[in-house]
Structure 1
């Protein structure tokens, strides 16, 4: 008879846990060779024989003590959902460190299966691990795996099903480790009080809860205070033993517990579990040799900047042709609709609101795909962790953490990212203050939504140096983010910096399958946004720029002018005289009418109303309309500008008519263009990002702060650039 087996998948960051999750379930979960990349609990299903496996992918964590949200989520799932089996994925090459989490899971009493992953790399290091001996000493099943190739996964699942069957209906049996003569007596007192008063015994074993009290676990202590008055007595016992340890050994309970756990692990490993096959096994690993160069104090940053610049060169070089294909397709589609639909609001909606709006954004899919492919390559190879390592010293000076690098990069630190996943990546930061500073400044990065704007204006004013200017825009984004972070951390977000601890994973050759999955997932998110959020916004902006219509008397005046010119054109054609100048005059009247209609619309009224405020920054009413649309999504700025200039075809990268009108408009000077680029770079995050900031910060306060503060900063910078430009 088949049954569903609930399995929790645990493991240290960078142990290959999420790769194992994908190998088991076939899920297309993002896997990056970067510590802390998995944040949320994720679920998948598979079958082993007649048994259905419900697999829960826990966040990567080094322990089960409530230092981070990942640790809290991981242990709460194990405690509250009571999985039938917990699979702990270990990096076999770092067995001692990875067993620390396994020991804590055993102390909870969870039925455990150990998956010794990356065994191919351990073998290359000259290590031989006796799986049978390790299994015997720990009394848990141990299976050898290489998750990225799928080796050992079937055996792992068979061992999991067997473990579930053997433990069915049994009470969890926690592992008991001695913590020495100073802590063991206190531990016994705590256990007795916890069992006598049923303090959290419905969720955790009494010994495990007692250990958490000794470790000063904030969540457990708070839960104890809420449930039972005996918590005060428990805390007093911990206080007494802490004073004793401090006076006699100059240490504290948590450190002693960690020492004894590692002592227990060492005693296991030294019983013939791990042996070296050759005398050169302790040599400097290849990754260390590479790191001597790529993380060098002077060479490292130069290599990093070179890689970032190379990414732009590769992206612009190889994406040019496919971007042209997309542009031609949407241009062809717009032409087909224009030729086969009668004039009216429906045609205007489809051509201007849908095809021009969404098509302008979709035209950048190839560019975004090339950018994401290269970012995935850096992540999966292990280089991204080195970037965080190198930048930590710089980030600390500005009040940030080395792990803030990842949110910045994902947000567009290497142009083409997205602030939404970038904001979500800030979850791995332990300090709430550092997290807030990261959430507010990560949207400064040159995300993929801003790229169409940058490409349009860089193409007009800096055509000969596009890659270099784009690189400089990226550098400005980083500089602004760091400077603003320093200001915030010294004013509204004061707080101590947290130490930077990061495992530098070994360099690996990314698999083609992994690169494809990562690139496609991010590209698909971009496409979905274009087909949903951007489509809706484009339609709303179209409506705002279409209604209300011009007053009847103005429409009649324009019609009269067009009638006169059209009669002159017809007369000239009949007599064989040239009519080019007359046709140009007719086009100018039509453009004037379109401009007057737009200026009279709801959007035009907003743009005109903002002119007195935005004029010092060099922005007229047309630009204001585009920027207001950018509050919803930055992708619509170019298409909105095109419509605002009374143009039918708005092509983000090669929008020749729009580029020509901007170049000829006396309002647009190089300094105004730079001010506009900086304003777009820095002002309020898009609406979806604001919602993400609210979710991560826990309140609307900081989300709204990011809108007001970032826009105010962008305005000050833009005004300064324009005014300085006038002086020069």
Structure 2
């Protein structure tokens, strides 16, 4: 026997923990077809029955107004899973039962996992589980996901529900005489369409039409009965005199309120969560506390991960040295040492900060604090044209744009998420800092620190201006950011196992997807910068100017000449596409130096004396390096998170255009003011 299960529930009810408890933490992670929302699937064998579980996005309802709601509803309607397990927060029963009623109206075969049962008891609540099961007409299993309490019973109940499903047993809410008349008339029309009535629950369709559900109306408009449906809908709206959807929602909540006194006893006392929120959400203390916590996370991520990254880099560099020593063929040795080992080391050096970052994020998320961080920053971000949850990716961008892009998946709205992805690379990451220090030290003199700081300010200002511009100019982003609607969960003690699972699920995506693309890109750059071999490698000298990359730089020189740049700048910027740190290494190679250790001062002196930069062109180059196309790792993350080459290419094009424009303004204004 094989049972297909859909796992659904409100956000922050412990659904992920339930999924991990059921599947043993073994899941296949991907994206929903045509969507960029994470899809998680797992399976287990229980009492000889193979159970396949699909974890649906967390959602408060099935109105299909957000991408998460649409995915969840479409899966239940189209795929018709054998059982739908709704994870309900026992400590917040009234809010959670609304989704249960919608599932029952959808005629899903529901099993309730009444999670956080221990929390409800600690709060002084007494829940009559039998009365709740009687009210809903479905099995209810109390669970405590953190300790796996009730999980075995839940598995048994899933199998039993799949075996004894009664299709004739239907849950129905009485919406009052007038609305019920229109529901009945609408059902009569829908019954005439055999294809629709055989595929969808007819009463549910009728209710959704009266609610003016966009997705259902689109479906109806493709059917022969559309005119009759539209006529009756118009008649119902005129007769009822107000939004039918509001009336239906109010009736569902009214039904819950009427039943709750029989099910739930006890009053909620003042909790530790309430006391913590008084400080953590305070209008004066909230943001300073948040910034302090975030700085701690930021420091933890990059300070703790630095030795691991250095170790990885050292290990692959040693492998490169061994390859150069034992491979006699010079070209093959260079490919293996530089193109493969050092290239692979460059990719894997990204892993420690990303894994540690997601470990820290998982701790904040599982503790309940991450939702509060978004709540704190919502008003500020809203005025800037961004979603409240955009603040977290933007802040991460100061460390690395890759995890910043990956962190946008916490944003529910597709439009807000993509907008955040597009502006996140404008935040000055740590990889750009070596460029600022090198160029600033070489040509800005005593103003070098000011020049470096100005780049961070410029990145923030541009991110805001670009977000506001896209809101006004691009139809896809037209309008205001979607409102931040979230339910603040109670604070909880994260479990190490769940935190590690979250860290691995998110971090491994970079290893599997972005890492492959970066590695191939580095090998490609190795080829372009080393061939034609005889022209580039002249004895002990490497003449990068003669390489395919150098030739391309010469072709591009006329384009960058208005900015005061030459072919060297063009080549450095092209190589910086792979990783921004390579820009410094490119200048070192061009001057026959290395960019490490004591030679960094020699490189600064070489740039200062060569005349490659003036103070004006140096500042323009720093700005261009900040703004132009994201590095290959970030582009791979953008492609991964948007699921679209269109947005990835758009990020490259708008970044180049913006970088060129800003650099040109700096040079032009500077020259008008008399600076060289």
Q: Same fold (TM over 0.5)?
A: yes
Give the conservation status (yes or no) of the 8 Å contact 1:7–1:55.
yes
Give the conservation status (yes or no) of the 8 Å contact 2:435–2:581.
no
Give the conservation status (yes or no) of the 8 Å contact 2:316–2:344.
no
Residues 1:302 and 1:359: Cα distance change in structure 2 (over 3 Å): same
Which position in structure 1 is the counterpart of 2:234? Answer: 239
After TM superposition, the structure 1 = structure 2 runs for residues 91-130 of structure 1, keeping only pairs within 5 Å, are 91-130=89-128
Give the conservation status (yes or no) of the 8 Å contact 2:7–2:54.
yes
Give the conservation status (yes or no) of the 8 Å contact 1:546–1:601.
yes
- Give the superposed CA RMSD: 3.6
Measured after TM superposition, the shift of residue 255 of structure 1 is 0.4
After TM superposition, the structure 1 = structure 2 runs for residues 235-314 of structure 1, keeping only pairs within 5 Å, are 235-246=230-241, 251-271=242-262, 273-276=263-266, 281-314=267-300
Structure 2, unpaired ranges of 5+:
30-34
Residues 1:360 and 1:404: Cα distance change in structure 2 (over 3 Å): closer
Residues 1:88 and 1:474: Cα distance change in structure 2 (over 3 Å): farther
Match of 1:19 among 17, 20, 38: 17
Which position in structure 2 is the counterpart of 1:586? Answer: none
Q: Distance in 2 between matches of 1:292 and 1:470?
A: 38
Establish whether residue 209 from structure 1 lines up as the match of residue 171 from structure 2. no
Establish whether residue 495 from structure 1 lines up as the match of residue 478 from structure 2. yes
Measured after TM superposition, the shift of residue 396 of structure 1 is 2.0
Q: Deviations over 1:529-552 (max 9, x none)?
A: 57522221111111111112456x
Q: Distance in 2 between matches of 1:383 and 1:77?
A: 30
Give the conservation status (yes or no) of the 8 Å contact 2:62–2:102.
yes
Residues 1:359 and 1:238: Cα distance change in structure 2 (over 3 Å): same
Measured after TM superposition, the shift of residue 227 of structure 1 is 2.0
After TM superposition, the structure 1 = structure 2 runs for residues 546-565 of structure 1, keeping only pairs within 5 Å, are 546-549=530-533
Give the conservation status (yes or no) of the 8 Å contact 1:87–1:113.
yes
Match of 2:525 among 528, 535, 541: 541
Which position in structure 2 is the counterpart of 1:665? Answer: 607
Measured after TM superposition, the shift of residue 612 of structure 1 is 3.8
Residues 1:401 and 1:709: Cα distance change in structure 2 (over 3 Å): same
SS at structure 1 position matched to 2:86: strand
Residues 326-335 or 470-479, more deviating: 470-479
TM-score (norm 2): 0.87
Q: Distance in 2 between matches of 1:332 and 1:122?
A: 57
Which position in structure 2 is the counterpart of 1:512? Answer: 496
Q: Distance in 1 between matches of 2:123 and 2:390?
A: 32
Q: Deviations over 1:275-294 (max 9, x none)?
A: 11xxxx43443223222322
Measured after TM superposition, the shift of residue 364 of structure 1 is 4.5
Residues 1:676 and 1:27: Cα distance change in structure 2 (over 3 Å): farther
Measured after TM superposition, the shift of residue 210 of structure 1 is 0.3
- Structure of higher CA gyration radius: 1
Which position in structure 1 is the counterpart of 2:652? Answer: 707
Q: Distance in 2 between matches of 1:670 and 1:366?
A: 37
Which position in structure 2 is the counterpart of 1:225? Answer: 221
Residues 1:373 and 1:645: Cα distance change in structure 2 (over 3 Å): farther
SS at structure 2 position matched to 1:665: helix
Q: Distance in 2 between matches of 1:485 and 1:224?
A: 36
Residues 1:165 and 1:189: Cα distance change in structure 2 (over 3 Å): same
Which position in structure 1 is the counterpart of 2:433? Answer: 454
Q: Deviations over 1:177-224 (max 9, x none)?
A: 111133111111111111133362122111000000011011111111
Give the conservation status (yes or no) of the 8 Å contact 2:408–2:417.
no
Match of 1:356 among 317, 342, 346: 342
Q: Distance in 2 between matches of 1:344 and 1:492?
A: 52
Which position in structure 2 is the counterpart of 1:194? Answer: 190
TM-score (norm 1): 0.81
Which position in structure 2 is the counterpart of 1:139? Answer: 137
Q: Distance in 2 between matches of 1:391 and 1:508?
A: 22
Q: Distance in 2 between matches of 1:397 and 1:700?
A: 29
Establish whether residue 606 from structure 1 lines up as the match of residue 552 from structure 2. yes
Establish whether residue 621 from structure 1 lines up as the match of residue 612 from structure 2. no
Establish whether residue 679 from structure 1 lines up as the match of residue 624 from structure 2. yes
